[in-house]
Structures are given as structure tokens and as C-alpha cells.
Structure 1
Amino acid sequence: MKYAHLTRDERYQIAILLKAGHKQRDIARIMNRHPSTISRELRRNRGQRGYRPKQAHEFSQA
């Protein structure tokens, strides 16, 4: 099975869609990603101030 990491742009798109009020399943459908990918991304990269796409991308690069 081929696996591709989320790109920086995809992470910012997740943040924008969340702020617009979309649910995780809707975000996955819009981005053509599996819902569990979005769920894991949000679970791993949510802090007290919500989802942080820049921080998430920096962690993924490390």
C-alpha cells in the first residue's frame, strides 16, 4: 500500500476547513483522504489553542 504524508498546504487546508465549521469526515471527503488520516492528524497536533498546521508540519519534518 502506498502511503503519502500530508503536505504543508494540506495541513493549512485542514485548519481552514475546521474554522469554517466542517466535520472531520467532510474534510476527508473534500481532500480525498481517508477519515482516519484526518482524525490522526488532528489528534496528534491539537494543543490548547486548537489545531496548529505550522507546528504540525514542523513536527512531521523532524
Structure 2
Amino acid sequence: MKNYTQLTEAERNQIYALKQAGHQKSAIALQLGRHRSTIGRELQRNCGERGYRPKQAQQLSGQRRQEKA
């Protein structure tokens, strides 16, 4: 069974840049070496009124992690 790794802040910045450049989720996933569903979930969970913002996504991820503990 494989272990997963959480997205890093650098990966979130890459997702933002690639999304802004017009890349699709599958192309972003391929570039980052992640599954396309990982990218899809990231964008779905962390899109606010202004769209996907990597700093906001990192903060929300940290909050969810603390709530679980």
C-alpha cells in the first residue's frame, strides 16, 4: 500500500500558475507527477470567490489538518 504526501506550498503555486496559463487538470497533474483527481480535489476544496489562491489554499489545508488532530 502506498503512502500519500500532501501537496506542498510550492506545488500549490505551480497549480495556480498552470491554471492561470490555461492548462487542464490532467496536464497539471502530469506536470506535477500527481493523479488528476488530486488536482481536481485541490481546486474544488480551495476555490473561493476569487478562484484558486495558493496562499489561501495552504492556510485552509493547515486549518483542516489541525481540526483533525
* Structure whose CA Rg is larger: 2
Unaligned ranges ≥5, structure 2:
64-69
How far does residue 7 in structure 1 lie from its aligned partner after superposition? 0.1
Tell me the residue number matched to 1:46: 47
Q: Which has the higher contact order (CA 8 A, sep 6+)?
A: 1
Deviation string 1:26-47 (CA, Å, 9 cap, x unpaired) is: 0000110000000000000111
Q: Distance in 2 between matches of 1:3 and 1:56?
A: 18
RMSD over aligned Cα, in angstroms? 0.7
Runs of 4+ with >6 A deviation: none
Tell me the residue number matched to 2:30: 29
Q: Equivalent pairs: percent with the same residue?
A: 53
The 3-state SS of whatever aligns with 1:17 is: helix
| TM-score, normalised relative to structure 2 | 0.86
Q: Distance in 2 between matches of 1:58 and 1:44?
A: 12
Aligned pair count reads 62
Tell me the residue number matched to 2:57: 56
